[in-house]
Amino acid sequence: MASELHSQHTGNSYPSDQQSLRLRQDSSPVSNQNYPQFNWSSSPAEDEVDNSGPPRDLRSIPLPMSLKRAVWQVQQMQVPVVSKVESWKWKKTKSLHKLKDRTRGFLYFITLWGKTLQKIGGNFGGGVQSYFLFLRFLVVLNFLSFLLLAGFVLIPSIVFRSVGTSLQNSTGPEECMNYNPNPEGLVVFYHYFLDFLSGTGFMEYSYLFYGFYNNTIVEDRSFSYNIPLAYLFTAVFYFAFCLICIIARMGTAARVAVATGGSAVGNYSKIVFIGWDYGCLGDQATKLKQKNLHYRLQVDLEEERLRKQAAALTLGAKILLYSLRVFMFFVALGLIFAAFYGIFEATNFSQSRTGEEGILGLIFEYLPSIVITAGNFVVPMLCDQIALVERYSPSTTVILALLRAVFLRLVSLGVLLFTLWRQITCEGDTNSQDCKQCQYNNKLYPCWETRVGQEMYRLTLFDLLITIAVLILVEFPRRMVVDNSSNMLTQWVGRQEFVVPSNILGLVYGQTVVWTGALFCPLLPFINTIKFVILFYCKKITLFYNCRPALKTFRSTTSTFFFLVVLLFGWGLALVVMIYSLAEIRPSMGCGPFRFFPSMWSIVPTSFYRLSQVTQEFLFFIGSQAFSIPLFTLSCVVMCYFIALASVYGNSVALLRSQIKLEGRDKQFLVKQIEKLKQLEMPKQ
Amino acid sequence: MGATASQLGKDLLSEYQELTFLTKQEILLAHKRFTELLTREERDLNLNTRVPMARILTLPELKSNPFRKRICYVFSTSEQKDGSLTFEDFLDLLSAFSDSATLEIKSHYAFRIFDFDDDGTLDRGDLEKLVNCLTGETDDTQLTPDEMRQLINNILEESDIDKDGTVNLSEFQHVISRSPDFVSSFKIVL
């Protein structure tokens, strides 16, 4: 059979591994061909035919089709010989394969933007594609969250609003009940637009915000639905759901990052062997890719030379460089704190001027957003300039710039929330004059939850408006100027690059705002879904019309993990806000589903004691030490097992590597021996 | 082959599905695109009709690829070594470059594409040609001889584990196995 295969297939001859050494060694004296030719196909085919064990997946054998077919036919004939169990196993794997293929085909049809992503990857490389993949992940996450919120809160609220009983609070003081969200009668048309932008007026008392939801409880003989409880649990599950999604994605990214080792070892080999993207379409993209690779190789070689120079640097020069770095670090820190102070002041000012009307009022309301956006725009640019002076290696520079930007983005949001907190709870002092009556500042905030929701709604909307404005007012004109003028300056400025890290951070920030606001504005995930879909198309347009591929390519594997970690930071910030507002602050007495309760969480114990005895005992058991300690121990044992397994694998990898080196030395030794023997034989002939 | 050239038989189709990583739609699309490359007379012949390399390279997916000729040579089963492809060779090509092909098969074919002199190892000459393909072969895009020497020394230092001065298949696969980006970049989809 094997010989038959050979004769069928002589065209594609390529020597086998065992022969290679011999052939290479004696190629110069003996060979009458230009190159020794090697038969790649011979060895695996023979193995396959001789092998009576379970057949390998034919598709993964590198043979031409005619040979594969021959092997397949042999396999088909062999099937009856195999035992029943094995043939059953074989059939099972085959049907599994088929199922997998089908699902893959099906998934391909429902995957969002599959073709677009492929096109982006082909034209701009994996780094930019990773941004769009991240964006798609967030869109799907937000949409699923919206379905969760809609299913358990929104739809029941709409359905039961007329059916259920909703009670008015009559226990608290009269002043705290005052909440009248629609004070004005007739409004001018342009007011609608202003209201839409700031979430006030007709928007305020709607399903969009916390204040509109009622404390409806529907109770039938067989069915009961408690809206406040559903509201609370949905929010908690929303957070858990997002955490699970992020962790699952992180697991994949981590596996990839660990597999690569993430180190600089094999850097040049990687660029040369893996650098080419076969999905590149068109001459333009090919040329750019080639330029890109050329640049990268040159820079890396240059960097290596610089590193060698730096190692030989004198002590004085080193001290100068390090002191410069420390100084620049403090400058960057100072910039960031200046930005914080600006945000703090702006929020205070904006909150003290809430009564203003018209355009001026709108500006005052949007002032914190404007200052935050300006800060996030200016400070990273300055930090980038600082990074140039610091002269770190390029990879460190990227990480440093990212960390500074993350810090600025998330903490500036924290400052905004802190200012809001100070005014809602009178700096945490419930005995002060403003807060004495209702335990929150009821004069400024008759329904403080709605107010926080509005703030987050504005931040979300403002972020989108800024992106669109920048697209229309900055990016398009820039491209037109650059393309249509041959001025030295404009050519030097050039088209913009698509900077992946800062764009990703924008997404993380937007998502954090949504998480923070989701408790107070249940429709925010839905708004964010729409926002991110619009963002996807905006970014795609600007990418294809305004951007040139980045000169510095962006490594996608390790950074995916880093982005998810940053996303987790945002999640953590939002979680702190949620836990604090659930447990500590008194819910508004005049609005919302929790108007009776001293804190939002207190509804849980209240409803818990209304459950049946058995359920209560079961839940108590799950919470008790008798259950949790064994569970904890078990998880520890499982974890230890996996850690041990990992270290064993690591050891065997190290062993195998040293073995390869030894074998190599053996091989060289044998080659030398062969050469010596040959020289001995030569004179005899 | 019992099937006419314009339409693939059902048996043949399932056989191709068995032997390649392609789905049914992908095989049919490949067949359609391949038939478009044939001239009118050739369409009546069977599936073993060879399409010369020059015509294969008019496909937009291959047109601007710097490795296009190597790809054709590696996947061609022609005895003249002219890089011409039959439909089955073409399917082999698409299968190796498809989304779901394994790392093993992809790295195997990548190695053969980079092995410009077909001797089973990547030596200095192969590496130099490879780098030139990556950076473009005009004078202003090529690396200087100095840089090239340094680069090739670095590559050999990193990946030539047994220090025999060349990179062989297993050493190559070792490098590839540590870079998961490879599976997504070694991809041609019609």
Q: What is the pLDDT of residues A579-630, one digit of tens each?
A: 988 888 888 877 778 877 888 888 888 888 877 788 888 888 888 888 889 9
Cα A648 to Cα A402: distance, rounded to the nearest angstrom: 35
Q: What is the pLDDT of residues B117-138, one digit of tens each?
A: 888 888 889 889 888 888 887 7
Q: Supply angle C-alpha A333, A337, A342, rounded to 5.
A: 150
Q: What is the DSSP letter of A80?
A: G
User: Is A11 close to B79, i.e. CB distance below 8 A?
Assistant: yes
Nearest to B122 by CA among A131, A325, A590, A24: A24
Chain A (38-57) residues lying within 8 Å, Cβ to Cβ, of chain B: 38, 40
Contacts of B151 in chain A (CB under 8 A): 268, 272, 297, 301
Q: From the CA of A562, how many Å to the nearest CA of chain B?
A: 17
> How many CB pairs below 8 Å do chains A and B form together?
214
Cα A127 to Cα A562: distance, rounded to the nearest angstrom: 13
* Burial of B54: CB neighbours in 10 Å, binned 0-12, 13-18, 19+: exposed
What is the b/e burial string over A299-308, where b = at least 16 CB atoms within 10 angstroms of the residue's CB? Answer: ebbeeeeeee
In Å, how far are A304, A363, A455, B72, B137 from A290, measured between CA atoms?
Answer: 21, 49, 48, 21, 10
Contact between A474 and A496 under an 8 Å Cβ cutoff? The reply is: no
User: Is B180 close to A260, i.e. CB distance below 8 A?
Assistant: yes
**Ranges of H-type helices in A312-357:** 315-352
Residue A547 pairs with which residues in a beta bridge? A496
Q: Which of A72, A272, A668 minimises the CB distance to B155?
A: A272
Cα A147 to Cα A526: distance, rounded to the nearest angstrom: 9
Q: What is the pLDDT of residues B92-106, one digit of tens each?
A: 899 988 878 888 888
In chain B, DSSP finds a helix count (H) and a strand count (E) of: 11, 0
Contacts of B66 in chain A (CB under 8 A): 276, 286, 290
Q: A485 touching B, CB under 8 A?
A: no
Nearest to A284 by CA among A127, A480, A126, A122: A122
Task: Output the pLDDT for position A240.
Answer: 93
Q: Would you list the domain boundaries of chain A? A: 156-519+545-610, 611-679
Beta strand pairing call for A496-497 and A217-219: unpaired
Cα B21 to Cα A421: distance, rounded to the nearest angstrom: 58
* Burial of A13: CB neighbours in 10 Å, binned 0-12, 13-18, 19+: middle
Q: From the CA of B153, how many Å to the nearest CA of chain A?
A: 10
Which SS3 state, helix, strand or coil, does residue A338 take? helix
Chain A (8-27) residues lying within 8 Å, Cβ to Cβ, of chain B: 9-12, 14-15, 17, 20, 23-24, 27
CB atoms closer than 10 angstroms to residue A258: 11
Rounded to two decimals, what is the model's pTM?
0.69
What stretches in chain A show pLDDT beneath 50? 1-36, 42-54, 262-265
Contacts of B23 in chain A (CB under 8 A): 101, 104-105
Cα B73 to Cα B82: distance, rounded to the nearest angstrom: 7
User: Is A267 close to B77, i.e. CB distance below 8 A?
Assistant: no
User: Is A268 close to B154, i.e. CB distance below 8 A?
Assistant: yes
Is pLDDT at B3 greater than 60 in this prediction?
A: no
The percent of residues in chain B predicted with pLDDT above 90, rounded, is: 3
Maximum CA pair distance of chain A?
Answer: 119
Task: Output the pLDDT for position A533.
Answer: 92
Nearest to A351 by CA among A257, A275, A431, A418: A418
DSSP string, A120-139: HHHHHHHHHHHHHHHHHHHH
Q: Phi/psi at A572 (nearest 5 deg)?
A: -60, -45
Nearest to A565 by CA among A283, A247, A177: A247
Beta strand pairing call for A547-548 and A496-497: parallel
Is pLDDT at B1 greater than 50 in this prediction?
A: no
Cα B8 to Cα B18: distance, rounded to the nearest angstrom: 15
Helix (H) or strand (E) holding A103: helix A84-110
Q: What is the DSSP letter of A150?
A: I
Q: Supply angle C-alpha A85, A86, A90, rounded to 5.
A: 120
Half-sphere exposure of A528 (CA within 13 A, CB side): 34
Q: What residue has token string 């072969």?
A: B137
User: Is B187 close to A657, i.e. CB distance below 8 A?
Assistant: no
**Ranges of H-type helices in A471-553:** 476-484, 488-493, 500-517, 524-546
Nearest to A553 by CA among A267, A213, A136, A167: A267
Task: Catalogue all structural domains in chain B, each as residue range(s) with its CATH number.
Answer: 11-97 (1.10.238.10), 103-186 (1.10.238.10)
Q: Residue A465's Cα: distance from chain center in Å?
A: 23
Q: Supply angle C-alpha A339, A344, A345, rounded to 5.
A: 100
| CA dihedral for B157, B161, B165, B170, sign (positive or negative) | negative
Contacts of A118 in chain B (CB under 8 A): 189
Contacts of B8 in chain A (CB under 8 A): none
User: Is A11 close to B61, i.e. CB distance below 8 A?
Assistant: no
Helix (H) or strand (E) holding A466: helix A448-470
Provide CB contacts within 8 A for A592, sequence distance 6+.
Answer: A210, A211, A213, A215, A447, A449, A450
Contact between B143 and B135 under an 8 Å Cβ cutoff? The reply is: yes
Q: Phi/psi at B177 (nearest 5 deg)?
A: -65, -20
- Nearest residue of B to residue A295 by CA position? B135
User: Angle of helix B24-37 relative to helix B10-19, nearest 10 degrees?
Assistant: 110
Cα A131 to Cα A181: distance, rounded to the nearest angstrom: 41
Q: What is the pLDDT of residues B75-88, one digit of tens each?
A: 888 888 888 888 88
DSSP string, A542-585: HHHHHEE--SS---HHHHHHHHHHHHHHHHHHHHHHHHHHHHTS
Cα A651 to Cα A657: distance, rounded to the nearest angstrom: 10
Which SS3 state, helix, strand or coil, does residue A660 take? helix
Contact between A292 and B141 under an 8 Å Cβ cutoff? The reply is: no
Q: Which of B119, B135, B176 minimises the CB distance to A38?
A: B119
Nearest to A480 by CA among A79, A328, A263, A472: A472
In Å, how far are A12, A284, A387, A571 from A39, measured between CA atoms?
Answer: 7, 38, 54, 57
Nearest to A499 by CA among A539, A541, A462, A537: A539
